[in-house]
Chains A and B, each alone.
Chain A
């Protein structure tokens, strides 16, 4: 319980000072649920860290909005869509939760957003990758904050094609997510005058990528793109280095989170290009917040953590400005107000729920340039949001 006690203390103080019922706030509370994988393969990307981030946001906002105390509840989806949707159903039907944050795996997030939309509650998606939440399954109650697959592919692929790396080879995770990454990246490559010289589809949870690396080697490509995530990225990169592929060609990671980058042997990963929505060591502002986060959580924040904090702060501000926690009014205010903090630079929330902000094109630092284990990326350039994120689909325009 100790993680909650601080918040609860803040809440108790707030409650004591404002005993009168709060106007326009349902059940006199602003209650946010954090749904995430707390102990499974994605737990480092959001998980308990997202709970910490939201608690920090609640405290930084003063523990209350419109005189109503902020309460954070959390639950483990165990990476199961049915578990996640049951939790969210219970939250909105039984426990007056106003919005749900976290939201990591695409499957759980898809299920959770369906429930939330039916109940007209806001989904604050911080870590899920799929574009679908603002395209094929867009909803007026979805807010997709940190990044998406399209932005990562755009961010990483375009600068490399522009610099003359025209021939691409894909090592793709053979399931929906990998296919999506590959097709988005292929589009960018072809639109910019490059070509795809080969693709190999590696089934999920392949431990040995050496045979795919051999095929990549034989293809004569300039760049080998890893359209996979997590352990698959680490393993494919290890094999690429071992078989001397990294000496011959560039390697681009289409979805690499800082915890995964940290998990790679610096000698293996050095020089790999990637795009991220946030890097803790970018400037003084990001460092200030990240150090506070690290003090409480024990490790540096991944982009999902920073995004969750930034999004929650924006939500509280919108509730305050709207004078109510009614989801439609809050969504309107979230779109109207411009988010602007250490995370969201040159940012705005588009009418389809996509938060458009600066992304960062970076490379992994070699061992001899690192101060310590947290010093992992070199930010090469900033990608303006409008270039990174795909344009809005007309059918997903929810502005009224």
Chain B
């Protein structure tokens, strides 16, 4: 089956594969968006937290015999806790300063974490097997879909959807959104804003940890895995704007698909295409697709 000289079956395969990558982008940019919403800072260590998630999954298996499914629950909690510590002891003391300082601070944390893991575990990366239950795959008409990849899409969509529901539809989410708009007023109503801030930071970071565990079986677990991905996610954040939770999810998925298409049509440009989209968006709609003009 071909259309305009393009093999459509091949194309469907690439689109699906793009959607899988988009799931990781969505999880990471969602984490950034949640933190940004309340604290107005960008967590440069988000990539390092993703890396931590993958490493912790590996360590949990190697040192404690903890399987993938347990790690999928426990590791994000641990990573989230590290995020909470980071917020309490590093980010909060400079919360009143220019937000650029917190960007630099988290950048420093990212460098340190990456350096420490390179020092301890070397740079070659570690192997983490796909869990037994998800080995194998399904033969679709147009491609062979490994079960684990299908699981990635399902799991990330569920997590993204739950997060969206939590923020947009629940009382907790309402506090959160109100805290974003006017923290002083919230404080006056007797709501513990600093606690909400801390928990939100922890939650945003935990999402990166979750993405890390998800990634461990399919990508090489290595200290570098987060930093390259993060710069792409930054571009995605610029494209989507920081206006809405749903926007972050949608942009992440869409960029994954666009990248997948490029890999098929012109692979040489696949690492640059998202940055090019960013340039176009900056020219046409500087505040981003879902962004509110500040």
Contacts and interface: CB of A to CB of B under 8 A. Distances in A.
Interface of A: 39-44, 174, 200-208, 210-212, 214-215, 217-218, 230-231, 234-235, 238-239, 242-244, 257, 259-260, 262-268
A239 B123 CA distance: 20
Contacts of A200: 267
Contacts of B125: 231, 234, 260, 263
Nearest to A217: B144
A266 B129 CA distance: 9
B220 A234 contact: yes
Chain B's interface size range is 35 or more
A43 B118 contact: yes
A44 B123 contact: yes
Nearest to B128: A265
A297 to B, nearest CB: 12
Interface string B111-133: 00001001100111111111000
B267 A44 contact: no
Contact of B124 (A39, A44, A174, A215): A44
Contacts of A244: 137, 144, 146
A263 B126 contact: yes
Contacts of B123: 40-44, 230
Given A212-B263, A212-B267, A263-B125, A231 B220 contact: yes
A214 B17 contact: yes
A217 B224 CA distance: 28
Interface of B: 7, 10, 13-14, 17-18, 20-21, 115, 118-119, 122-130, 137, 143-144, 146, 148-149, 218-220, 222, 224-225, 228-229, 260, 263-264, 267-268, 270-272
23 contacts: A40-B118, A40-B123, A44-B122, A203-B270, A203-B272, A206-B270, A207-B219, A207-B229, A210-B17, A214-B14, A214-B143, A218-B10, A230-B124, A231-B220, A234-B220, A242-B149, A242-B218, A244-B137, A244-B146, A259-B122, A262-B124, A265-B129, A267-B129
Given A201-B267, A218-B7, A230-B123, 9 more contacts: A202-B270, A210-B149, A231-B222, A234-B125, A238-B218, A242-B130, A242-B149, A243-B137, A260-B124
Contacts, number: 111
A99 to B, nearest CB: 27
A260 B272 CA distance: 27
A203 B268 contact: yes
Given A40-B118, A174-B268, A215 B126 contact: no
Q: 6 tightest CB-CB pairs across the interface, nearest first?
A: A203-B271, A265-B127, A211-B263, A234-B220, A259-B124, A41-B123
Nearest to A238: B218
A238 B264 CA distance: 19
A235 B264 contact: no
Contact of A214 (B13, B128, B222): B13
